Chain A
Amino acid sequence: MIATETFKPLVLAQAKARKVEPRLIVVKHPIGGLNADELRERIEAATKGLTEATTK
């Protein structure tokens, strides 16, 4: 699951309510309202996190 750092507490609180432990990739907040260059940094961070998570 990919979440922004700002909404990580919401994800964890909802996960706790459902008694699950999600594997999280956390990127900087926000995502909405970014231009293409700004969004690229988020995509790269998410891709890096996903690659690391799936190659362990």
Chain B
Amino acid sequence: MKDIADQEVIDLEDMDIEAFNAFATDQGWSDGMPLYVPTEDKVARFVETVRGDNRPYPPVPPRQVIPTVQALAANAVMAGCKPEYFPVVTAALRGVLDPDYNLHGTLATTHSCAPMVMVSGPIRHELKINCGSNCFGQGWQANATIGRALGLMLLNVAGAKPGEMDRSTQGNPAKFTFCFGENEEENPWTPYHVQRGFAATDSVVTVMSGEGPHNLNDHGSTTGDGLLTTFAGGMATPGANTIYGKGPMFVIIGPEHAATLKRDGFTIESIRQELYRRSRVHASRISVENQDTYISTGHKPDGDWFTIARSPDDIHITVAGGPGKHSAFIPSFGGTTVASTRIAR
């Protein structure tokens, strides 16, 4: 007899949602919040939405199992997704399966990283993905459940069971869900997915194993130069993983900050260059022992300063959020990449 985790279809007696949740929790399928029941009918409706995407999935680390579309759909159902969200979730999964994303390392680490999911292109509006006010927060079914579905897949397919395979020291609320849309309409530059070579008409999911958003509050600066001083100061943190592990990071600029930077002539490239140049951590802010750790892992200081990135290319820039004088810095796990995947439809 197969272990229940290896069965394609699990026959259960009729049970109400409370009984199902008790059963699912006992099986270790839950992230701690209530789950929807993945009936065969619901799973079939989700599977129908990805019929145009016949590419096989590689083995999913750390467990190294090759997932069926039905197993993935069951997790999206349990997360509370609508069927039309499912192609976004599977595109996000393909992103985290990019070998350079280092899914094994990002799931087993003691670091707090969670998969950041950013959606670009026309599908944002079709699915009502929040790109504006409170885009990292609560209140939108698509944001809440797309991120949650990916998290459940990583739990139930990848095997990232907290305390066992997922060894995060403290975790991070973003492990429940971390999905938002680019605010392309208020981006005065080029949308992120177009920066990555996709067509503006493509719908794209971008994933990065990141910390939660670090707020960059600047109500006082009236120039782009002033804003970049604040951004760089907020990014120059000796506690973020990127200064150890080296890797990508996002600066998600709020629309009002973006408008000021654009007015003063800054481009995405010049912002990257300036943030790389300014967001350095002085040796006096790092213990001598920790400086030795940085240096022993190949991070040579530039005089008395430690850079937080390998080059300006590590700093990814886009616009999201609503009115207000806030932006956000999202450092990554370090040994990972930013993976963008076109949503197959």
Chain A nearest CB: distance from B291 CB in Å? 15
Chain B nearest CB: distance from A4 CB in Å? 11
Judged by a CB distance under 8 angstroms, whether B6 is at the interface is no
Residues from 43 to 77 in B contacting A, C-beta threshold 8 Å = 61-64
Establish whether residues A10 and B164, one from each chain, have CB atoms under 8 Å apart when the complex forms.
Answer: yes
Interface residues on B, range: 10 to 19
8 Å CB contact of A7 from B62, B63, B167: B167
Q: Within the assembled complex, what's the spacing in Å between the Cα atoms of A49 and B303?
A: 43
Which B residue's beta carbon lies closest to that of A7? Answer: B167
Q: Within the assembled complex, what's the spacing in Å between the Cα atoms of A13 and B167?
A: 12
Residues of B within 8 A of A56 (CB): none
Which A residue's beta carbon lies closest to that of B158? Answer: A17
Q: Within the assembled complex, what's the spacing in Å between the Cα atoms of A49 and B170?
A: 31
Residues of B within 8 A of A9 (CB): 163-164
Judged by a CB distance under 8 angstroms, whether B108 is at the interface is yes
Establish whether residues A18 and B64, one from each chain, have CB atoms under 8 Å apart when the complex forms.
Answer: yes
Chain A nearest CB: distance from B133 CB in Å? 40
Judged by a CB distance under 8 angstroms, whether B268 is at the interface is no
Q: Within the assembled complex, what's the spacing in Å between the Cα atoms of A14 and B160?
A: 10
Residues of A within 8 A of B159 (CB): 13, 17
Establish whether residues A14 and B167, one from each chain, have CB atoms under 8 Å apart when the complex forms.
Answer: no
Judged by a CB distance under 8 angstroms, whether B165 is at the interface is yes
B126-165: CB near A (< 8 Å → 1, else 0) gives 0000000000000000000000000000000001010111
Chain B nearest CB: distance from A29 CB in Å? 11
Q: Within the assembled complex, what's the spacing in Å between the Cα atoms of A10 and B161?
A: 10
Which B residue's beta carbon lies closest to that of A9? Answer: B164
Establish whether residues B164 and A17, one from each chain, have CB atoms under 8 Å apart when the complex forms.
Answer: no
Residues of B within 8 A of A18 (CB): 64
Chain A nearest CB: distance from B330 CB in Å? 25
Residues of A within 8 A of B62 (CB): 13-14, 17
Residues of B within 8 A of A10 (CB): 108, 164-165, 167
Which of A7, A14, A18 has the most B CB atoms < 10 Å from its CB? A14
Which B residue's beta carbon lies closest to that of A35? Answer: B289
Q: Within the assembled complex, what's the spacing in Å between the Cα atoms of A12 and B159?
A: 13
Residues of A within 8 A of B165 (CB): 10, 13-14
Chain B nearest CB: distance from A28 CB in Å? 17
Residues of A within 8 A of B64 (CB): 17-18
Residues from 94 to 128 in B contacting A, C-beta threshold 8 Å = 108
Residues of A within 8 A of B164 (CB): 9-10, 13
Q: Within the assembled complex, what's the spacing in Å between the Cα atoms of A19 and B299?
A: 36
Q: Within the assembled complex, what's the spacing in Å between the Cα atoms of A9 and B108?
A: 11
Residues from 1 to 30 in A contacting B, C-beta threshold 8 Å = 7, 9-10, 13-14, 17-18
Which A residue's beta carbon lies closest to that of B159? Answer: A17
Which A residue's beta carbon lies closest to that of B64? Answer: A17
Which A residue's beta carbon lies closest to that of B167? Answer: A10
Which of A7, A9, A10, A18 has the most B CB atoms < 10 Å from its CB? A10
Query: Can you list 10 residue pairs at the A/B interface with Cβ under 8 Å?
Result: A9-B164, A10-B108, A10-B164, A10-B165, A10-B167, A13-B161, A13-B165, A17-B61, A17-B63, A18-B64
- Taking beta carbons and an 8 Å cutoff, which residues of B are in contact with A? 61-64, 108, 159, 161, 163-165, 167
Closest 10 CB pairs of A and B: A17-B63, A13-B165, A17-B64, A17-B62, A10-B167, A14-B62, A13-B164, A9-B164, A10-B108, A10-B165
Please name 6 further chain A to chain B contacts, defined as beta carbons within 8 Å, in addition to the given A13-B164, A17-B62, sorted by A numbering.
A10-B108, A10-B167, A13-B161, A14-B62, A14-B108, A14-B165
